[in-house]
Structure 1
């Protein structure tokens, strides 16, 4: 797992359209034009916690927000305001294990295709170097 944090909670929050309590990414470990590694420490105030377990919906939202962070950071680097994005489709999501309270998860996103505001990404989420979820998402930027 990545250990160097490029952006902390507040900076990450400024790049996401979601606001507390709906933010599911609190750090960025690495960024390139075609990839990003994002993380989340699951706190006791997380809205997707149930009996100290982070729910499937939270994992999927974390994956989606990791993609949103890539877009937000891309626009930030160009000194532009990022447009709002939407999930166009979710495909082949596999959840193997649910993290618990105080766990830190990490998602690696890889841009497979990008054209006309539509981005196809591959996402793999890890907990302590163990793959716990994976899938593909297509995101669409609002015009």
Structure 2
């Protein structure tokens, strides 16, 4: 579903200066789409480009935004998650300051507190990076 404009910080556990998503564009049961404008003050920007680590964190935070949105729809709090593993990471290019990236995350499998996702970062119609990721969700206390 396409979402109305919403405060991204209400959906993710990360806080500035380590926020790597701007907008939750859409979210469904298995797919989440976010966008991010690359700014020079981003902590993971170096030499005018978002680093590989920034792309990986952007994918993880896209997954977090989808999980946060789902939790909110059920009236539950947003749970922190942790990257357990990154598999088959491919980085083809780095986005530059001023670029807007779109990131798509698809849930491949979910067992208990572990979610396996595939993520892809796109800019100007080109895939910049893609990977599989295992994310552990911290259970509610």
Q: TM-score, normalised by structure 2?
A: 0.93
SS at match of 1:68: helix
Change (3 A) 1:85 1:7: farther
Q: Is contact 1:42–1:102 with CA below 8 Å preserved after alignment?
A: yes
Deviation at 1:49, TM superposition (A): 1.1
**In structure 2, what is the equivalent of residue 24 of structure 1?**
20
Give the match for residue 66 of structure 2: 70
Q: Does 1:83 align with 2:79?
A: yes
Provide Cα deviations, 1:11-67, integer angstroms capped at 9, x if missing partner.
111211110110000011111010011111011210111121111111111111111
* 1:6 has 2:8 as partner: no
Structure 2 spans left out of the alignment, 5+ residues: none
Q: Once the 2 structures are TM-superposed, how far is the Cα of residue 6 of structure 1 from its aligned partner?
A: 2.7
Instruction: Report how far residue 129 of structure 1 moved.
Output: 1.2
- For structure 1, the residue ranges without an aligned partner over 5 or more in a row are none
Aligned length: 139
Q: Distance in 2 between matches of 1:74 and 1:134?
A: 23
Mapped partners of 2:135, 2:46: distance in 1: 28
Alpha carbon RMSD of aligned pairs, Å?
1.5
Please identify runs of 4+ aligned residues in structure 1 that moved more than 4 A. Answer: none
Within 5 A, what are the aligned runs for 1:37-48?
37-48=33-44
Match of 1:95 among 82, 91, 96: 91
Q: CA deviation at 1:7?
A: 5.3
- Pairwise CA distance, 1:82: 1.9
Residue in structure 2 matched with residue 126 of structure 1 by the alignment: 122
Work out whether 1:140 is the aligned partner of 2:140: no
